[in-house]
Amino acid sequence: MHTSRRNFLISTAAAAVPAAAKALPLGSHAAALLAQSSFATSFPSVVSTPSGKLRGTLQDGVRVFRGVPYAAPPVGPLRFRPTSPVVPWPGIRDANSAAPTALQTHPQGPTSEDCLYLNLWTPEGPGPFPVLVWIHGGGFTAGSASDPMADGARFARDGIVCITVAYRLGVFGFLDVEPLLGPSYAGSANNALHDLITALRWTQTHVASFGGDPARVTVGGQSAGAKLTDILLGVPAAQLLFQSAISESGGAERVWSTQQARTVGEGFSKQWRGQSGNTVDALRAAPADLLQAQERFMAIWPRHFPLRPQIDGDLLTRLPLENVATGSTRGRRLLIGTNLDESAFFLGPTPGAQPTRSDLGNLSLEAFDPILARYAAIYPKLSVSDRCIRAVTAEEYWIPSLRVAEAAAGAGCATWMYRFDYSENAGRLRGYAFHSLELRFVWQAPGHSKGAAEAALATQMHTAWVTFIKGDAPAATGLPSWPRYDAQARSTLILDRESRVEQQPHAGEMLLWSGSL
């Protein structure tokens, strides 16, 4: 059975002042919070932050704060506008339940346009602890910061403050509405990026209140969350807001030029105005109608994922990958990789010889077909179906991630690359290392282990991720020594039942995608 990518996506500081904080507009505030931290031997039940007091809960030795606002609600006159700072609140705010997720068409729980909240798990004790800010996936149109898979308690128990952050989705976060609403809305396709940057600024000024170290922040994500992470690596406004990044199945290529974003906006405008006489005023006030128009628009648009960030001349002045290659990541650290058979999840185990438009994220079918045809020579022993899975995986995940790794490492960013080869051992996708499978290993999701080999690899991967977040090279007992990535050896850790290091993996594919074969 063929499951479209889209259907899947919608169903499922030190005691001294940190150097990075000194460079921030509010860095002195973050440093003051560190100095004023009242931690002694245990975490207080009520935490005072720059925005107000929060009451969390204690769960199995981990302090948990859910539904914490990091920005002003993007509603009313703030719809389609860049993110505004959070408004401080009086008294004590309970932070014991998750906020509704961002508006989306097939949610798994309550939704609201008022969605700019985060969840936070922190160890007991004074810290300061390193910080992980996790961006959920979902194709830029779906997903939740409260996905049970991303339970930050697992990282908190290992001495890490874990934050999961929500952001605006779909037309609210990734549509250029200038064609409908006028020039003052230029760049609105970057509103979700503005959300994430605001969340990272919140982290810099607030995380010390929870025992976190604003000088040791790792931003990471999987799928769309990884793509947004990789894009943030090339956003100048985000350069001082984090020191490390984790990208699982990402890439920095899902970005429109100014003209492409305007064309998408004009296309949505026609779709919107063509339905029941919709007006600009209705666009400002009708979330349900907006989601219905979004569905219709995405169904007829000739390219997959039309809703994406844009080069707007302000937040993004050129392609993020160009900024990465010229040094935006110099001095930072990157852990990046993909799964061997990502696209098996969307194509199914027997997809046939040709993908459809909805299976490609970066190329048109016309541009992709000649590349796919060459896969028979590279992998003559693979079935036609498996060659299709491998080629679509390369187009959407592996090649874009490789380009980020090459650009970052070449510009002085300490980079480690992995490939997750552990295949599912039961069910419809048995034998494939499909998209998202690695999440249950990294997060050590309870109830998912299917034997000793899987449990061992989950422990190793989670430990390696923790070691990286704490500032060291990723490593774990049972894994081979993980060398840094460079463009000569291209050393890659293959994570499997018997993990190993390979030099120049996919050499034939590399030549093909670079135009040398």
Contact 440, 465 (CB under 8 A): no
Segments making up each domain of the chain, as ranges: 5-248, 333-513
Per annotation, catalytic residue among 113, 253, 342, 438: 342
pLDDT bucket at 355, cuts 50 / 70 / 90: confident
Is the model's pLDDT at 32 over the cut of 60?
Answer: no
285 dihedral zone (left: phi>0; alpha: psi -120 to 50; beta): alpha
* DSSP for residue 75: -
Q: Which of 448, 468, 469 is nearest to 148 (CA)?
A: 448
pLDDT 10s digits, 315-332: 999 999 999 999 999 999
- % helix, strand, coil for the chain, step of 5: 40, 15, 45
The confidence score (pLDDT) of residue 281 equals: 81
CATH 3.40.50.300 for domain 5-248, yes or no, is: no
Residue 310, strand partner residues: 256
- The position carrying tokens 């190993």 is 500
Q: Strand pairing partners for 416?
A: 335
- Burial group, residue 327, by CB count within 10 angstroms (0-12, 13-18, 19+): middle
342 is catalytic: yes
Strand 92-94 relative to strand 129-135: parallel, antiparallel, unpaired?
A: unpaired
pLDDT higher than 80, residue 44 = no
Q: What's the average model confidence in pLDDT over 157-185?
A: 96
Q: Do domains 5-248 and 333-513 have the same CATH topology?
A: yes
For the question of residue 113 being annotated catalytic, the response is: no
Examine the pLDDT at 2 and tell me if it is beyond 70.
no
pLDDT at 421: 98
The pLDDT of residue 35 is: 34
Is this structure's pTM higher than 0.85?
Answer: yes
| Phi, psi torsion values for 103, nearest 5 degrees | -55, 135
Instruction: Return phi, psi of residue 232, to 5°.
Output: -60, -30
Give 24-47 as a DSSP string: STTHHHHHHHHHH---SSS--SEE
Rounded CA-CA distance 17/21 in Å is 7
Which has the closest alpha carbon to 493: 422, 435, 408?
422
Tell which residue, 324, 349, 304, 482, has the closest CA to residue 400: 324
Gap between the Cα atoms of 58 and 77, Å rounded: 38
Count, residues in the chain: 517
CA dihedral 489, 494, 499, 501 (to 10 degrees): 0
In the block, tokens 């996790």 appear at 134
Residue 414 makes CB contacts below 8 A (sequence gap 6+) with 332, 333, 334, 473, 484
DSSP 369-437: HHHHHHHHHH-TTS-HHHHHHHHHHIIIIIHHHHHHHHHHHHTT-EEEEEEE-PPP-SSTTTT---TTT
- Asked whether the predicted pLDDT for residue 24 surpasses 80, the reply is no
Average pLDDT over residues 495-506: 96
Token digits of residue 244: 């490390």
* Residue listed under structure tokens 């984790």: 246
Quote the percentage of the chain above a pLDDT of 70. 89
Looking at CATH, the fold of the domain delimited by 333-513 is given as Rossmann fold (3.40.50)
Check if 247 is active-site.
Answer: no
User: In this structure, are residues 149 and 439 in contact, taking their beta carbons and an 8 Å threshold?
Assistant: yes
Per-residue tokens: 100? 């509704």
Provide the strand spans (E) within 128-264: 129-135, 161-165, 212-222, 244-248
pLDDT for 21 equals 33
- pLDDT-based confidence at residue 12 (cuts at 50, 70, 90): very low
* pLDDT of res. 15: 30
Given the residues 146, 223, 244, 499, select the one marked as catalytic: 223
From the candidates 194, 206, 435, 462, which is the catalytic residue? 435
Burial class of residue 433 in the structure, from the number of CB atoms within 10 Å of its CB (0-12 exposed, 13-18 middle, 19+ buried)? buried
pLDDT tens, position by position, 461-498: 999 999 999 999 999 999 999 999 998 999 999 999 99
